[in-house]
């Protein structure tokens, strides 16, 4: 808990209450209202919890006004350009960048746990072929608790560590199998000679009939997508994982809950919504029409993939993602893909338009990640599963931190009740 450096005074019905004020290492001060209900018999009201700190954390810090995203104090653009996903995983989980020896051991541990229990293949075959891959992932990840009994005791530090490695290692396999199942192709087993991102691409795009070579530019772009989505502070899905965890649920159930929350179009589905918008635009010559609609305050149309709820000036992840998008498009080209042609021209016209500059409607990470995944050949239905794969380490880091918090309590939000008060039951014949 941050140091109590000041006191806020609340006057209510003639009485004054002293509320401790905690100063964080970054961000606004926090008024501690934990004893307010007991002392004053009042709740606070904050729909969406947008002004409420539900926990203290040392993992990720965001300053949306300044366009800052730090993992354990390290800027995201440095991590994305100089590091790689598994090193960032280590940083999020353990608080410091690893030595070469520790990183090698961690990578080996993850690499050697990528296979899933063979009987779990039957779970995939229980779904319809046209099931959304996120539906499949929610079911399969939740079912992992039925197969890995030796890593479900949250009170055992060793079992928590085993569950951590298993989830990070197996999530690419689960996501790739969900994809393969949806397109009617055989599952491809993981390969220990490939790195994390290359292995995922291999499991998604290799087929038994011929050899598949992972292009290093595509592998690097995929690794950056993973890195840039690894954690994002106390967002909806992370809060869902923490809330599920507060009840003592096993780690696989908690992560399945996070996947379910991420599925929503207002959260993890943003890059899918962006690609669907590009398909709606259709051809570059229609872009001025849609830009005009975006400027019209009476038109409900919005440019998806532009601006961000948290970042008010620019998305620090977008700069690195744009670099990857340019590299991938240079490699694969856009000539035969009308969606990518629209994306490149829309980016150009929007960045040159004073209206978007004034409103700070910049292309965000979802815009560029959607372009990259489309260029690689992923259907839009796989965008959110890939996001879930990448975010798993953030969820687990937050889960582990919460379990070590001596202030941990089961989550129990209050409400502003506006319904009927007590009334007597009326027999049906008298209604």
CATH of the domain at 16: 2.20.28.60
Over residues 190-240, the pLDDT tens digits come to: 999 999 999 999 999 999 999 999 999 999 999 999 999 999 999 999 999
The answer to whether residue 59 is domain-embedded is no
Q: Is residue 207 part of a domain?
A: yes
Question: What's the whole-number average pLDDT of the chain?
Answer: 93
- Bigger pLDDT: 17 or 264? 17
User: For the ranges 246-250, 285-289, 364-368, which has the lowest average pLDDT?
Assistant: 364-368
Helix, strand, coil percent content, the chain, rounded in steps of 5: 55, 10, 40
**CA-to-CA separations, 263 to 72, 235, 411, in angstroms, rounded:** 27, 13, 22
Is 431 part of any domain?
no
Res 3: pLDDT = 58
In a domain, 332, yes or no: yes
Q: Verify that 16 and 143 share a domain, yes or no.
A: no
Name the helix (H) or strand (E) containing 63.
strand 60-63
Domain that holds residue 371: 72-404
Strands (E), 282-330: none
Identify whether residues 129 and 166 lie together within a single domain: yes
101 and 147 together in one domain: yes
| Helices within 183-207 (DSSP H only) | 196-205
Q: In sequence order, what DSSP letters do the residues of 58-102 get, joined into one string? A: SSEEEETTTTEEEETTEEHHHHHHHS-HHHHHHHHHHSSPPPHHH
pLDDT in tens, 121-149: 999 999 999 999 999 999 999 999 999 99
Strands across the sheet containing 74-75: 60-63, 68-71, 74-75
Do 34 and 158 share a domain, yes or no? no
What phi and psi values does residue 123 have, to the nearest 5 degrees?
-60, -45
Whether 266 and 385 map to the same domain: the answer is yes
CB contact at 8 A, 209 and 151: no
Give the number of other Cβ atoms within 10 Å of residue 248's Cβ.
12
**Cα–Cα distance for residue pair 57/134, rounded to 1 Å:** 28
Residue 247 has pLDDT above 60, yes or no: yes
* Alpha carbon distance 142, 145 (integer Å): 6
C-alpha distance from residue 188 to each of 115, 131, 415 (Å)? 10, 19, 48
Looking at the structure, tell me whether residues 352 and 386 fall in a common domain.
yes
Distance CA 232, CA 307 (A): 16
* Helix and strand element counts for the chain (H, E): 18, 6
At 264 the pLDDT is 87
Tell me if the pTM is above 0.85: yes
Report the domain count for the chain: 2
> Average pLDDT of 362-369?
84
Nearest one of 270, 266, 254 to 383, comparing CA atoms = 270
Residues 6+ apart with CB under 8 A from 415: 43
| Crossing angle of helices 85-94 and 196-205, rounded to 10° | 120
Q: Is residue 318 a part of any domain in this protein?
A: yes
Same domain, 47 and 105: no
> Taking residues 400-409, what's their average pLDDT?
95
CATH code of 287's domain: 1.10.580.10
For the segment 233-250, the average pLDDT, to the nearest whole number, is 97
Tens-place pLDDT, residues 291-350: 999 999 899 988 888 887 788 777 888 888 888 888 998 898 877 788 878 888 998 898
Q: Are residues 196 and 87 in the same domain?
A: yes
Same-domain status, 119 and 27: no
Active-site residue identified among 84, 232, 308, 315: 308
Q: Which two tokens stand for residue 379?
A: 């259907």
Please tell me the least confidently modeled range out of 27-36, 228-237, 306-315, 379-388.
306-315
Residue 428 falls inside a structural domain: no
Does residue 311 sit in the same domain as residue 393? Answer: yes
**pLDDT score for 5:** 66
Q: Is 156 domain-assigned?
A: yes
Q: Please, which pLDDT band fits residue 1 given cuts at 50, 70 and 90?
A: low
> Across-strand partners of 17?
10
Residue 393's CB is within 10 A of a number of other CB atoms, namely 26
| Token couple for 52 | 């409420």
Q: What percent of the chain has pLDDT over 70?
A: 99
Instruction: Give the pair of three-digit tokens for residue 270.
Output: 């943003």
Same domain, 173 and 80: yes
| DSSP secondary structure, 286-344, as one string | GHHHHHHHHH-TTS----TTBS-SS-SS--HHHHHHHHHHHHHHHHH-STT-HHHHHHH
Residues 123 and 194 in one domain: yes
366 is catalytic: yes
Residue 154 has a pLDDT of 96
Of 267, 366, 404, 405, the active-site residue reads 366
| Residue 228 belongs to a domain | yes
For residue 109, the cross-strand partners are: none
The whole-number average pLDDT for the span 67-85 is 95
Q: Say what the pLDDT of residue 2 is.
A: 56
Supply 319's token pair: 């700069």
Q: What percent of the chain has pLDDT over 90?
A: 76
């Amino acid at each position: 808990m941050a140091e109590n450096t000041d006191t806020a005074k609340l006057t209510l019905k003639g009485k004054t209450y002293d509320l401790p004020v905690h100063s964080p290492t970054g961000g606004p001060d926090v008024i501690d209202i934990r004893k307010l209900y007991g002392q004053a018999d009042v709740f606070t009201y904050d729909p969406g919890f947008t002004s409420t700190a539900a926990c203290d954390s040392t993992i990720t810090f965001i300053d949306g006004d300044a366009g800052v995203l730090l993992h354990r104090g390290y800027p995201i653009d440095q991590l994305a350009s100089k590091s790689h996903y598994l090193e960032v995983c280590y940083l999020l989980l353990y608080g410091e960048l690893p030595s070469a020896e520790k990183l090698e051991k961690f990578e080996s541990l993850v690499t050697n746990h990528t296979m899933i229990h063979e009987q779990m293949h039957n779970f995939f075959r229980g779904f319809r072929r046209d099931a959304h891959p996120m539906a499949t992932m929610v079911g399969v990840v939740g079912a992992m608790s039925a197969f890995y009994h030796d890593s479900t005791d949250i009170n055992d530090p060793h079992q928590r560590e085993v569950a951590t490695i298993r989830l990070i290692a197996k999530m690419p396999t689960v996501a790739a199998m969900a994809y393969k199942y949806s397109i009617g192709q055989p599952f491809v087993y993981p390969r220990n000679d490939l790195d994390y991102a290359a292995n995922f691409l291999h499991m998604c795009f290799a087929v038994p009939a011929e050899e598949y070579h992972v292009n290093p530019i595509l592998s690097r772009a995929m690794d950056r997508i993973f890195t840039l989505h690894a954690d994002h502070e106390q967002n909806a899905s992370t809060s869902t994982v923490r809330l599920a965890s507060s009840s003592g649920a096993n780690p696989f159930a908690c992560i399945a809950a996070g996947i379910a929350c991420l599925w929503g179009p207002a959260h993890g589905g943003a890059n899918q919504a962006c690609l669907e918008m590009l398909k709606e635009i259709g051809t570059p010559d229609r872009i001025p029409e849609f830009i005009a609609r975006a400027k019209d305050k009476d038109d409900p149309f919005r440019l998806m993939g532009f601006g961000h709820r948290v970042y008010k000036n620019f998305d620090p992840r977008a700069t690195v993602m744009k670099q990857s998008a340019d590299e991938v498009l240079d490699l694969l080209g856009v000539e035969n893909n009308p969606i990518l042609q629209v994306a490149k021209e829309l980016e150009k016209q929007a960045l040159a338009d004073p209206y978007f500059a004034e409103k700070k409607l910049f292309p965000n990470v979802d815009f560029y990640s959607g372009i990259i995944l489309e260029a690689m050949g992923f259907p839009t239905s796989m965008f959110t599963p890939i996001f879930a794969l990448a975010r798993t380490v953030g969820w687990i880091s937050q889960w582990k931190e919460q379990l070590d918090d001596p202030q941990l309590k089961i989550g129990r939000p209050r409400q502003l009740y506006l319904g009927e008060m007590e009334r007597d039951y009326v027999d049906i014949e008298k209604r």
